[in-house]
């Protein structure tokens, strides 16, 4: 059995200089004669962001922040998986697996992990194909395969039984763990519900008001917010050329999601700091992993649903609903996919990037959910 190898991130000075030179040569498009952000990332905002990225952003400070966590790599199924392994201050603490999503990274958890290690030993991997779990040419994994990789990682670390938490793709991965590895997962906690986005749902012809609200929400999401999914899910390689070559293009593609998916008043920085966004974007840039990070979208569109139709997730489940999450399905629909819902919390503030936006509230809900299972 392989032994985890300690990891420290150190980006060469030459790569940082190259990034700044590329940013200085950015050629910006014009702004359409419509309200800024209405057709995508605001030109004025991106000019300000890239100027800050080029001249003021301190990558080394964020590199040091990441390196303050114990990090390791481990070969699993032919790739090197990067992960944070932060021991708990509590003897005999439950191991808790944290799974991020797209366009996130383990930087999402920089405020959450210290709150959780009071109660859990935290394992936070970089998803295969994402940032520090990426090497050019490596095998690609869909969501089910990523869940299997993470289960094997936990086995290698000596954790026969563990809790799991996730949002975005992490909620899908966590749900697959709760389905395929129910005997090993003491419970799963989600801050996004990975339900089928089928406009025919719910199957009954007379949805109740809460279900009707969700169907209207879903209709708008499918119409206005899924363009990136179709591009990443059907022609990911074409998109990868532009975003791998242009840091401004990469920033525009990602920061638009921080604005659209967070609980803000018009600027993404109302919810997530400029430095936090740029630390995440920089990690994608320096690792060259944006193209490979699209693979779960391609696999999702060309594979069966991660939890087979007619089957349900049996592991105990807790859910934290943040009000500005992209979709907030009612419990009646969640009960069709999750057979043992133990906790359902409606938060008062926050959106899709809950670990960055509302780490204290998320941590408290995770602690309460797993505490009730002990």
Active site residues: 168, 297, 352
Other Cβ atoms within 10 Å of 300 Cβ, number: 18
H/E run at residue 62: helix 59-67
Task: Tokens for 156, please give them.
Answer: 């290698």
∠ CA 262-329-214, nearest 5°, is: 95
Give dist(CA 290, CA 278) in Å, integer: 14
- Cis bond before residue 103 (omega within 30° of 0): yes
Helix, coil or strand: residue 208: coil
Give dist(CA 104, CA 127) in Å, integer: 10
Task: Tokens for 368, please give them.
Answer: 């309460």
Which residues are registered as beta bridge partners of 345? 320
Give dist(CA 72, CA 74) in Å, integer: 7
Nearest to 94 by CA among 54, 122, 55, 124: 122
Instruction: Give the alpha-carbon dihedral of 16, 6, 84, 314, to 10 degrees.
Output: 140
Give dist(CA 140, CA 253) in Å, integer: 22
Nearest to 193 by CA among 356, 303, 354, 310: 354
Task: Tokens for 177, please give them.
Answer: 């763990």
CB contact at 8 A, 362 and 335: no
Give dist(CA 245, CA 8) in Å, integer: 26
CB contact at 8 A, 200 and 225: no
CB contact at 8 A, 110 and 102: no
């Amino acid at each position: 059995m392989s032994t985890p190898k300690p990891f420290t991130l150190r980006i060469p000075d030459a790569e940082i200089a190259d990034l700044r030179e590329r940013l200085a040569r950015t050629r910006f498009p014009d702004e359409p004669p419509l309200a800024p952000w209405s057709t995508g990332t605001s030109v004025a905002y991106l000019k300000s962001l890239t100027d800050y990225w080029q001249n003021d952003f301190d990558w080394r400070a964020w590199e040091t922040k990441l390196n303050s966590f114990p990090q390791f790599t481990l070969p699993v199924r032919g790739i090197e998986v990067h992960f944070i392994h932060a021991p708990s201050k509590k003897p005999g603490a439950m191991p808790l697996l944290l799974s991020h999503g797209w366009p996130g990274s383990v930087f999402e958890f920089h405020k959450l992990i210290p709150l959780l290690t009071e109660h859990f030993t935290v394992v936070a991997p970089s998803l295969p194909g994402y940032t520090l779990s990426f090497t050019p040419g490596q095998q690609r994994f869909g969501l089910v395969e990523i869940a299997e990789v993470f289960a094997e990682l936990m086995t290698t670390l000596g954790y026969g039984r563990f809790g799991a938490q996730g949002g975005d793709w992490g909620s899908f991965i966590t749900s697959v763990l709760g389905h395929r590895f129910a005997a090993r997962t003491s419970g799963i906690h989600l801050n996004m519900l990975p339900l089928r986005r089928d406009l025919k749902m719910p199957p009954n012809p007379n949805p109740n008001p809460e279900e009707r609200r969700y169907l209207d929400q879903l209709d708008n999401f499918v119409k206005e917010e899924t363009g990136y999914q179709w591009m990443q899910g059907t022609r990911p390689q074409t998109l990868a050329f532009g975003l791998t070559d242009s840091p401004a293009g990469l920033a525009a593609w990602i920061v638009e999601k921080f604005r659209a998916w967070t609980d803000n008043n018009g600027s993404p920085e109302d919810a997530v700091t400029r430095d936090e966004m740029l630390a995440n974007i920089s990690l994608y840039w320096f690792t060259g992993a944006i193209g490979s990070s699209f693979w779960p979208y391609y696999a999702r569109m060309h594979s069966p649903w991660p939890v087979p139709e007619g089957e349900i997730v049996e592991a105990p489940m807790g859910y934290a609903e943040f009000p500005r999450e992209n979709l907030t399905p009612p419990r009646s629909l969640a009960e069709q996919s999750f057979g043992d819902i133990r906790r359902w919390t409606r938060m008062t503030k926050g959106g899709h990037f809950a670990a960055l936006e509302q780490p204290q509230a998320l941590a408290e809900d995770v602690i309460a959910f797993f505490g009730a299972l002990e």
